[in-house]
């Protein structure tokens, strides 16, 4: 029964993001995380069940935040177009501002492991739900074709954003990720909206 909170908990999590981003999940030893966090190896196991648990906690922690903040922003905005723009911008802003975190969520988390996926699917699904709601609201407004398969559209939208972020992470991050928000918005808008 690890204590999933407190100062050390955060320290370890932060150290883990850094190490995972730098060396990849499988290549970073727990001992390295401990060193980076300034705690003893054993201390980690007071806060986490296992190495995998660190990875999962990392994701759920960050993803929970991500979705919460997005929902707040969406509440202050009206109409499908602005919602879509907000969604895209948020995605790029947050990941653009946290390259290490982006690295972890984009790459390290992708390894299939029934256990890891279980831990991840919750928060990720809630993000998917938000995306689908935005698209559906576009349909209600009459801007998006009613016959559009919302699920499929969500997958494509998410996939598109995801790949853009992945490319950015994998290269040297020379450009500002957010600067792509506008062109992406243009493309996705015309993808979903009926031709006027």
Residues at the contact surface with DNA, assessed by CB under 7 A: 3, 8, 27-31, 39-43, 45-46, 50-52
Site for a second copy in 20-59 (CB under 8 A): 24-27
Site for a second copy in 85-144 (CB under 8 A): 103, 107-108, 110-113, 117
Nearest approach, Cβ of residue 155 and a second copy (Å) = 5
Nearest approach, Cβ of residue 45 and DNA (Å) = 4
Burial 121-136, CB ≥16 within 10 A → b, else e = eebbebbbebbbebbb
Helix (H) or strand (E) holding 158: helix 150-170
- Among DNA, a second copy, none, the one that 10 touches (CB under a kind-dependent 5 to 8 A) is none
Site for a second copy in 144-163 (CB under 8 A): 148-149, 152-153, 155-163
Q: Does 66 bind a second copy (CB under 8 A)?
A: no
- Among a second copy, DNA, none, the one that 31 touches (CB under a kind-dependent 5 to 8 A) is DNA
Q: Does 174 bind a second copy (CB under 8 A)?
A: no
Is residue 96 classed exposed, middle or buried when 0-12, 13-18 and 19+ CB atoms within 10 A define those classes?
Answer: buried
Report the C-alpha dihedral over residues 185, 158, 97, 165, rounded to 10 degrees: -90
Specify the 3-state DSSP secondary structure of 4.
Answer: coil
How many residues lie near a second copy (CB under 8 A)? 39
Q: Which is nearer to a second copy, 47 or 66 (CB)?
A: 66
Q: Does 179 bind a second copy (CB under 8 A)?
A: no
Distance (Å) of CA 85 to CA 2, 35, 44, 89, 180: 40, 41, 40, 6, 11
């Amino acid at each position: 029964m690890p204590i999933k909170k407190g100062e050390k908990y955060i320290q370890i999590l932060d150290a883990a993001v850094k190490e995972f981003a730098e060396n990849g999940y499988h290549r970073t030893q727990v001992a390295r995380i401990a060193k980076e966090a300034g705690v003893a190896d054993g201390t980690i196991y007071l806060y986490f069940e296992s190495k995998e648990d660190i990875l999962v906690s990392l994701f759920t922690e960050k993803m929970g935040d991500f979705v919460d903040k997005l929902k707040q922003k969406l509440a202050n905005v009206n109409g499908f177009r602005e919602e879509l723009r907000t969604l895209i911008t948020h995605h790029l802003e947050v990941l653009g501002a946290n390259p290490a975190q982006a690295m972890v969520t984009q790459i390290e988390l992708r390894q299939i492991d029934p256990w890891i996926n279980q831990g991840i699917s919750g928060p990720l699904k809630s993000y998917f739900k938000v995306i689908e709601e935005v698209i559906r609201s576009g349909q209600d407004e009459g801007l998006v074709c009613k016959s559009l398969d919302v699920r499929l559209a969500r997958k494509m939208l998410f996939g598109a954003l995801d790949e853009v972020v992945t490319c950015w992470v994998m290269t040297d991050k020379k450009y500002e990720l957010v600067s792509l928000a506008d062109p992406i918005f243009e493309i996705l808008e015309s993808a979903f909206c009926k031709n006027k």
